[in-house]
């Protein structure tokens, strides 16, 4: 008998067959509407859930799935999975640390260059026949100061690329200083922003980081500063960011995540000092393979009565 697996995310070509070969029957609920209207009959069959941090699984949803044994977050984030509720129900929760680090770091540098050098605007201008806009004077990125909010695995990769490839000075803010880095530690995000030319948000999402980047931080970043968010949309106060961009209180922003995504506030789409991508920083053929192979390994381990490989931290 196969194992009923509910996926909150669509799977690239070839992966449904790999899950089937591993003994899983896939069911999909990839939209809020599909998840809200999941039939009681199907819910009672589900033994495993594949999700992502920005979707997650609530206690109420778990309550409808009496056979549920394991929840696998595809990437590193699990902020909307009610881990405490899962633990109380004896449900294992896993995630994918390290599976998409390189892809996210690459995308971050691409966003930094795109907003600094106005790549999308130049592309649009040339396609519209405005070749003379190529004479616009735009800044460079080399030798500037990069502030990283959250110097974890991904933040460290971003810092390494920026320092090694662009000779950037690196500062960071964590809950406490790291002993094994030569980068400059700042005690608050506001102090880091006041120092930095670029403020990259790479901290985990969740209740402890909601609106960590607020109006005061953006004021500190200043008129020549750029904000880049590849973490979670909830970490940045969207209203404050919109106001800062409209008034040119900061030079620009580049976002791969937006609070409330996939809905994007229409006002953001009118701003020419903003570059936005649809939460794709962690996606590449390599990272997708890393993430889904680890999900399969965790699922196979659990249903073979072996310890899972990457449980979420207690």
- Biggest CA–CA distance in the chain, Å, is 66
pLDDT at 46 over 70: yes
Share of the chain above pLDDT 90, in %: 90
Q: Tell me: do 109 and 210 sit in the same domain.
A: yes
- How much is the pLDDT for 132? 79
Confidence of residue 54 (pLDDT cuts 50, 70, 90): confident
Q: Extract the tokens encoding 148.
A: 């990283």
Return the ∠ at Cα 150 (arms to 244 and 286), rounded to 5°: 105
Contacts (Cβ under 8 Å, ≥6 apart) of 166: 141, 142, 143, 144
DSSP state of 312: P
279 is catalytic: yes
Is 146 in contact with 171 (CB distance < 8 Å)? Answer: yes
pLDDT > 60? residue 134: no
pLDDT in tens, 288-312: 999 999 999 999 999 999 999 999 9
What is the Cα–Cα distance from 125 to 131, expressed in whole angstroms? 7
Question: 157-174 pLDDT, tens per residue?
Answer: 999 999 999 999 999 999
- Asked if pLDDT for residue 78 goes beyond 70, the answer is yes
pLDDT range class, residue 131, cuts 50, 70, 90: confident
Catalytic residue among 27, 261, 283, 289: 261
Structural domain of 142: 101-276
Higher pLDDT among residues 134 and 263, named by residue:
263
Is 261 a catalytic site residue? yes
How far, in Å, CA of 248 to CA of 259, rounded? 21
Residue 309 lies in a domain: no
Indicate which residue of 279, 283, 289, 302 is catalytic. Answer: 279
Q: Angle 119-127/101-117 helices, nearest 10 degrees?
A: 60
Residue-level pLDDT at 133:
63
pLDDT at 220: 98
Is residue 97 very low, low, confident or very high in pLDDT (cuts 50, 70, 90)?
very high
**Which one from 232, 286, 289, 314 is the annotated catalytic residue?**
232
64/33 same-domain check:
yes
- Same domain assignment for residues 246 and 291: no
What pLDDT sits at residue 314?
73
Count of beta carbons in the 10 Å neighbourhood of residue 264: 16
- For residues 264 and 168, membership in a common domain is answered with yes
**Residue 137 shares a structural domain with residue 33:** no
Query: Is residue 64 domain-shared with residue 143, that is, in the same domain?
Result: no
pLDDT at residue 144 greater than cutoff 90: yes
- Output the domain CATH number for residue 212: 3.40.50.720
My answer on whether 93 and 107 are in the same domain is no
Q: Distance between CA atoms of 172 and 196, rounded to whole angstroms?
A: 10
240-275 tens-digit pLDDT: 999 999 999 999 999 999 999 989 999 999 999 999
| pLDDT, mean of residues 6-15 | 95
CB atoms within 10 A of CB 91: 20
The answer to pTM > 0.85 is yes
**pLDDT tens digits for 215-233?**
999 999 999 999 999 999 9
How many structural domains comprise the chain?
2
């998840």: which residue's tokens? 35
Q: What are phi and psi of 253, to 5 degrees?
A: -145, 150
Mean pLDDT for 181-194 is: 97
User: Is 283 a residue of the active site?
Assistant: no
Residue 137 counted as domain residue: yes
In degrees rounded to 5, what are phi and psi of residue 57? -150, 125
Alpha-carbon distance 203 to 150, whole Å?
4
- Whether the predicted pLDDT of 119 surpasses 60: yes
List the strands of the sheet with 24-28, edge to edge: 24-28, 3-7, 48-51, 70-73, 92-94
**Residues 266, 188 share a domain:** yes
Burial class (CB in 10 A: 0-12, 13-18, 19+), 200: buried
């Amino acid at each position: 008998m196969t194992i009923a697996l509910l996926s909150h995310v669509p799977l690239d070509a070839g992966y449904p067959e790999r899950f089937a070969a591993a003994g899983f029957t896939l069911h999909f609920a990839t939209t809020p509407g599909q998840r809200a209207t999941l039939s009681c009959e199907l819910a009672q069959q589900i033994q495993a859930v594949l999700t992502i941090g920005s979707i997650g699984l609530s206690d109420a949803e778990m309550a409808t799935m009496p056979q549920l044994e394991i929840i696998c977050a595809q990437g590193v984030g699990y902020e909307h999975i009610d881990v405490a509720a899962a633990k109380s129900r004896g449900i294992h929760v896993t995630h994918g640390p390290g599976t998409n680090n390189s892809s996210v770091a690459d995308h971050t540098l691409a966003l930094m260059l795109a907003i600094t050098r106005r790549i999308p605007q130049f592309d649009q201008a040339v396609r519209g026949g405005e070749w003379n806009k190529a004479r616009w004077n735009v800044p460079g990125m080399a030798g500037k100061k990069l502030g990283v909010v959250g110097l974890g695995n991904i933040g460290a990769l971003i810092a390494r690329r920026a320092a090694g490839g662009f000779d950037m000075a690196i500062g960071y803010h964590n809950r406490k200083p790291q002993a094994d880095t030569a980068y400059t530690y700042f005690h608050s995000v506001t102090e880091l922003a006041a120092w930095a030319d670029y403020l990259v948000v790479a901290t985990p999402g969740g209740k402890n980081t909601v609106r960590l980047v607020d109006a005061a931080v953006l004021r500190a970043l200043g008129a020549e500063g750029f904000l880049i968010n590849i973490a979670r949309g909830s970490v940045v106060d969207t209203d404050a960011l919109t106001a800062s961009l409209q008034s040119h209180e900061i030079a620009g922003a580049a976002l791969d995540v937006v609070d409330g995504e996939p809905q994007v506030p229409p006002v953001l789409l009118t701003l020419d000092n903003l570059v936005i991508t649809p939460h794709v920083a962690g996606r590449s053929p390599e990272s997708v393979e890393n993430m889904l192979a680890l999900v399969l390994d965790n699922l196979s381990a659990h249903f073979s009565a072996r310890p899972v490989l990457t449980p979420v931290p207690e």
